[in-house]
């Protein structure tokens, strides 16, 4: 996995980590990428952050799990189901909650209140 960071002066920092198990699961990539980013952060403001995967292999070699990681099959099934929903209804049909901005509640105006409401 490769992490690329570009600061405001367009200087590029690159960090690489190998030895990771083959995966097709976004969550596993996210966890590793987040750990690499936390290690690289030193207070510098970055204008661009990129994460890439390398050492690709056939899909059948990825996400096999083992006796210790018994939840991997369920995670793979969940991600495959999400992919099917996106394929059918579009990329925006389903998203992780962390991508949503806080929704603003519409302001209530006196004109939208029932007659006599809000009078003291």
Are the CB atoms for 47 and 7 separated by under 8 Å? yes
Can you spell out the DSSP letters for 35-75? Answer: HHHHHH-SS--EEEEEEE--S---GGGS----SS-TTHHHH
**What residue spans define the domains of the chain?**
2-63
Least confident of 29-38, 71-80, 110-119: 110-119
pLDDT digits (tens, 9 = 90+) for 107-117: 554 444 455 54
DSSP 77: H
Give pTM, 2 decimals. 0.61
Q: Which residues of 13-24 are buried (b: 16+ CB within 10 A; e: fewer)?
A: eeeeeeeeebbe
Mean pLDDT of all residues belonging to the chain: 80
d(CA 74, CA 78): 6
3-state SS record for 92-112? HHCCCHHHCCCCCCCCCCHHH
Q: Which residues of 97-119 are buried (b: 16+ CB within 10 A; e: fewer)?
A: eeeeeeeeeeeeeeeeeeeeeee
d(CA 52, CA 33): 9
What are φ and ψ of residue 79, in 5° steps?
A: -65, -35
């Amino acid at each position: 996995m490769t992490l690329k960071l570009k600061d405001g002066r367009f200087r590029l920092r690159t960090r690489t980590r190998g030895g990771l198990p083959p995966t097709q699961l976004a969550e596993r990539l996210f966890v590793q990428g987040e750990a690499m980013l936390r290690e690289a952060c030193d207070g510098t403001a970055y204008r661009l952050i990129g994460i890439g995967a390398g050492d690709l292999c056939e899909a059948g070699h990825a996400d096999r799990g083992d006796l210790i990681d018994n939840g991997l099959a369920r995670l793979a099934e969940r991600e495959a189901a999400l992919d099917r929903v996106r394929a059918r209804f579009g990329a925006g049909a389903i998203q992780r909650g962390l991508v949503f901005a806080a929704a603003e509640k519409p302001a209530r105006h006196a004109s939208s209140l029932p007659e006599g409401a809000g009078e003291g």
